[in-house]
Copies of this chain bind each other. A is one copy, B any other.
């Protein structure tokens, strides 16, 4: 990339916005030039706007400290400054729906972390290794909405990456899935900041994430769906039942998965081979954030573990372990991913890279 592509982050002062800045600070393709947040932060230097509420383990990157934060609701402030907008605004659903569309309408490639548009029919929910082809809806999205250069894509909930890549590897290898039951052990960073109170996770777990269960069951269907005209039609053929739990872990979501194949079943060794050989378009295109390999299978009986495996592939790889037969369905395994990297800002950055590589951002 001879010249970096200029990008903006809206909702830059929140914890998701902070994760974007942390991950983008030495990005080879993207240069953050625009930061926007609520009217309260507007007009302040970024370092002042986040003083006392910067929650990353690394310091505020020097390059962003003195950028003057704009009002995210004032779309015109971004015009002419950047091409890609990473959206992490914290508003009510209706306001997010409208604001993200407004940015797209003004010509920005909007990549959003919010759940608001996940159910919008012409907005793809992207896990780059799985449904990169869903980006092909963009011309129809633009046409339908009268957008010239703008576009809008979103990333899915952070609870699903631990199993979506492993099961997509099966599907791609010719082994479709019939049903799966999964139990997640999710890190507290998945709940944003402040997230759960300390007192609720000291000597305790919260086996009670009903909202996460819904997303874990519904979002896979859209990701595995297909484009029909100007909408993405979900593939609801896989039945999913999720038990979602919150545990005292900072980063790194675990999924304990039991699944049944729809037809023939691969052997155990074959499965490990499928995972270890899995690769997809992001890897072929050598996208900067694409992990190689995307799926790591570990033989050790005591892996994966959040603290030891979440940073694999710079937080972008999925680590799988403990493959064994299931007494009820066909197989069992444990998957793990870094929820604020692969499951959030990192996944969105990889999506933006894909948009660039496929020519949707000019």
Interface residues of A, Cβ cutoff 8 Å to B: 52, 55, 57, 179-181, 183, 185, 188-189, 193-208, 210, 217, 239-241, 243, 245, 247-250, 254, 256, 258, 300-308, 311, 321-322, 326-329, 332, 334, 336
Contacts and interface: CB of A to CB of B under 8 A. Distances in A.
Given A203-B250, A245-B256, 12 more contacts: A183-B256, A194-B196, A194-B199, A195-B198, A202-B203, A203-B307, A206-B305, A207-B305, A208-B305, A243-B256, A248-B248, A250-B307
From A185, A200, A328, name the one whose CB has the most chain B CB atoms within 10 angstroms.
Answer: A328
A189 B300 CA distance: 22
Given A198-B196, A199-B194, A328-B181, A207 B334 contact: yes
Nearest to A326: B241
A329 B198 contact: no
Given A243-B256, A302-B208, A303-B208, A199 B203 contact: no
Given A194-B194, A198-B197, A301 B208 contact: yes
A202 to B, nearest CB: 5
Contact of A199 (B188, B208, B304, B336): B188
A239 B260 CA distance: 15
Contacts of A52: 300, 302
Contacts of A198: 188, 194-198, 200-201, 248
Nearest to A336: B207
A249 B202 contact: yes
Given A180-B328, A247-B247, A256 B199 contact: no
A258 B239 CA distance: 13
Contacts of A208: 301-303, 305, 321-322, 334
Contacts of A210: 301, 322
7 closest A-B pairs (Cβ-Cβ)? Answer: A183-B183, A194-B197, A243-B256, A203-B203, A241-B327, A241-B328, A204-B307
Contact of A243 (B55, B183, B205, B300): B183
Contact of A250 (B189, B195, B199, B322): B199
A185 B199 contact: no
Nearest to A185: B205
A175 to B, nearest CB: 18
A188 B196 CA distance: 13
Contacts of A185: 185, 205, 207, 245, 247
27 contacts: A52-B300, A57-B307, A181-B328, A181-B329, A183-B183, A183-B256, A185-B207, A188-B197, A193-B199, A194-B200, A196-B197, A198-B201, A201-B202, A203-B306, A204-B305, A205-B249, A205-B306, A207-B322, A207-B334, A208-B301, A208-B322, A208-B334, A241-B328, A243-B256, A243-B334, A245-B256, A247-B247
A328 B326 CA distance: 14
A201 to B, nearest CB: 5
Contacts of A180: 328
